[in-house]
Structure formats: structure tokens, C-alpha cells
Structure 1
Amino acid sequence: MNAIDRNLDAAEVAAEIARLEDERCRALVAADVDALDALVADDVIHIHANGKVDDKPAYLAMVRDQIAFLKASREGLAVRVQGDMAVAVGRLLQSIEMRATGQRIDMDVMTTQAWRREAGGWRQVTFQATNR
């Protein structure tokens, strides 16, 4: 494979990761836990902006039971590809509502995500948010 082919492949993977991240945002707003389950790896580590760390069951339970995502959108997502891994960094704007209290929170965070190519496609293995 020559350098042009590798760059094209990396560009295609970057576009796929951006599409999957948009899909993840849509799934959060729709509270589509089944879609999220398919997008994140079984060994995912999800680190929230407040420092809370969730594994996959805790992350999915949080979306299902604790937080209503009112909006979620990405800005300036940059993706770097290295073989079967991709790292995505960019701004995430979210509005959430705590189901128990009704408290609404607007979030403006930077995220770092690692995605891994698996037999069924790309899945998120790490997510970390940092308040801006």
C-alpha cells in the first residue's frame, strides 16, 4: 500500500469515527441504550467531566435511569488513526437533566476518545471529558 492509499484509508476511517460519534450523540438524546450498547466496547472506560468513572454496565444504566440528554453535539472533532485504533479529540456541547431532581446542566467539554476496530466495526473503548 502506498502513502496515498494509507492517507485515503485514514481519511475514510476518520469520517467513519465522526459518523459513529454523531450516532452516539443521537442515541444519547433518544435514550437508545441498545444503540449505545452496540457503539461502545464491552471493556469501555467512560470518564465523566466530574471525574466519575463508569464501566459499560454503569454507563448504560446512567443513560437509562439517571440522566436525560436534551442535546448533544460535536464541534471540531479531529481523528487520528493508527492501525486498528483511532483517537478522536474535540468539543462536546450537551444539555442534560438529572431525572431524580429535574436539575438542568449545560456542559461545554473537551473529550478524548479511543475507538478500536473489532470484527463488527469500530467501537469506543475509552471516553474522557474535561470541562472547558
Structure 2
Amino acid sequence: MISLRDAIERKEDERLCALIAADVGRLDQLLSDGLIFVHPNGRVDSKANYLANLAVRNPYLDIKVVERTITAAGGMGVVTCELELLVLRDPPAQNVSYNIRGICVWAQDGADLRMIRYQSTFIGGANA
């Protein structure tokens, strides 16, 4: 049987791949309906708003995990990470690379494991 920590790691990998692929259907399965998503600039989205924005315009071109730590206990897990993002910003259209630190909280949601909270911040004063 797979450990909770390993299950969370797999879900995180799936989430990042779905972001790059703009797979809103897969993200819908991975994210809890009660998700609160705090962007590095402080903007807060619900799951519905977050996915609706991604469906219109996905800025994620590439995401690399620089560092990741997963702590799991009692059916929940906290992921702390540093990610290197390559995103499309406009106007004018340009690719921008920056690093963020993030905290993701995963929990049992019915029969599945879903992300219930996400918060990130820019590293090094980036203003993307």
C-alpha cells in the first residue's frame, strides 16, 4: 500500500503537469471544491475562479521543482516547496522566469486526496 506521503507527492506531480498542459479537467479532480488559492501577489481565488481563469488563459509554460518537503499525518499533508516558473506575461507578450515558495495542504476529501489550500510568495522581491 502506498504511503500518504507518497500519494501526496504523486498528486503534486500530477497537479504541476496539469498546470503546464492546461488540463482544467484534471485540476478539477485534484482540487477541493473548498479550495482557497493565494497567488504570490496576494490575490485570492476560489477553485471556480482559479479554474475559469486557467481555462481562458494558461500562463504556465514550465514548472521545475527546486525543493520540496512533504509532511503527512492523520489523513492530511503539508507540502512546502520552491518552484521555478516560466510564465507568459503580457502586454507586451514576454516569457518571464521567477521562483516562488509555496505551501500546499492536501486532505482526504471523500474517497480521494485533494488540495484544500495553496499559498505562495515570490522569492527575492520578484514582481511578476
TM above 0.5: yes
Structure 2: how far apart are the matches of 1:100 and 1:56? 26
Alignment deviations for residues 58-99 of structure 1 (CA, whole Å, 9 cap, x no partner): 110121113331101223211111212111101111111147
The Cα shift of 1:100 comes to 6.6
Instruction: With the length of structure 1 as denominator, give the TM-score of the two structures.
Output: 0.84
Amino acid at match of 2:8: I
- For 1:101 and 1:56, the matched residues in 2 are separated by 28
Aligned pair count reads: 123
4+ residue stretches of structure 1 with deviation over 6 A?
none
Please state which structure has a larger fraction of its residues in helix.
1
Is the CA contact (8 Å cut-off) linking 1:114 and 1:125 kept in structure 2? yes
Determine which of 86, 91, 116 is the counterpart of 1:125.
116
Task: Give 5+ residue unaligned stretches, structure 2.
Answer: 124-128
Which deviates more from structure 2 when the two are superposed, residues 39-48 or residues 57-66?
Answer: 57-66
Q: Is the 8 A contact 1:72 1:92 kept in 2?
A: yes
Q: Could you give the per-residue CA deviations for residues 74-128 of structure 1, whole angstroms, max 9, x where no partner exists?
A: 2321111121211110111111114775232212011001001122321000001
Contact 1:67 1:99 in 2 (8 A): no
2:107 to 95, 112, 116: 116
CA RMSD in angstroms, aligned pairs only: 1.8
Which ranges of structure 1 fall in alignment gaps of 5 or more residues? 1-8
Q: Give me the whole-angstrom Cα distance separating, in 2, the residues matched to 1:50 and 1:122.
A: 27
Match of 1:66 among 25, 42, 57: 57
Question: What is the identity percentage for the equivalent residue pairs of Structure 1 and Structure 2?
Answer: 29
TM-score by length of 2: 0.87
